[in-house]
Amino acid sequence: MATEKTLNDLFIDTLKDIYFAERQIARALPKMARAAQSEELKAAFQKHKEETEGQIERLQQVFELVGKPARGKTCEAIQGIIAEGEEIIEEYKGTAAIDAGLISSAQAVEHYEIARYGTLKAWAQKLGMQEAVDLLDATLQEESATDEALTQLAEASVNDKGQKAA
Ligand SMILES: [Fe+2]
Ligand SMILES: [Fe+2]
């Protein structure tokens, strides 16, 4: 009979999933910044790239707290979301709709992260790991703020521009 898995195992597996995802995101964001047309969107992607580096460090601290080496585990969900974003870049590069497309794929990334960090934070709470809760919550706040900033950029101009050119 297989050994019984615990919530702690699930927590560590999910930590590996998001650790893998964050490193993929850190590689994708500069490409998104290059493809963006508006200076505001470029700046938003660059800012979030910096934040993502800090988030990777926070995850390394959480791995330390649970006494495990920081190691990623292939996350097919984020690979799929990033692949869709690359497709948008290929198909819409240089068009008036590129920024709207980039924002839509960036928001898919943020929503994935918000789901993962929300879960991890709740599990850390259940497992009585207050330090981990604080680290995960700090990242969760950044992901939510990024999501909101992207919505504002979309509403302010990007979607309008895409429409005018259509
Ligand atoms: Fe992130
Ligand atoms: Fe993010």
CATH number at residue 136: 1.20.1260.10
| Domain residue limits at 48 | 7-153
Structure confidence at residue 159 (pLDDT): 62
Decide if 1 is inside a domain: no
Decide if 160 is inside a domain: no
**CA of residue 46 to ligand 2 center, whole Å:** 11
**CA of residue 125 to ligand 2 center, whole Å:** 22
Structure confidence at residue 157 (pLDDT): 73
pLDDT in tens, the chain (166 residues): 568 999 999 999 999 999 999 999 999 999 999 999 999 999 999 999 999 999 999 999 999 999 999 999 999 999 999 999 999 999 999 999 999 999 999 999 999 999 999 999 999 999 999 999 999 999 999 999 999 999 999 998 766 665 655 4
The CA distances from residue 8 to 47, 53, 124, in Å, are 33, 25, 9
Neighbours of ion ligand 2 (CB under 5 A): 110, 113, 143
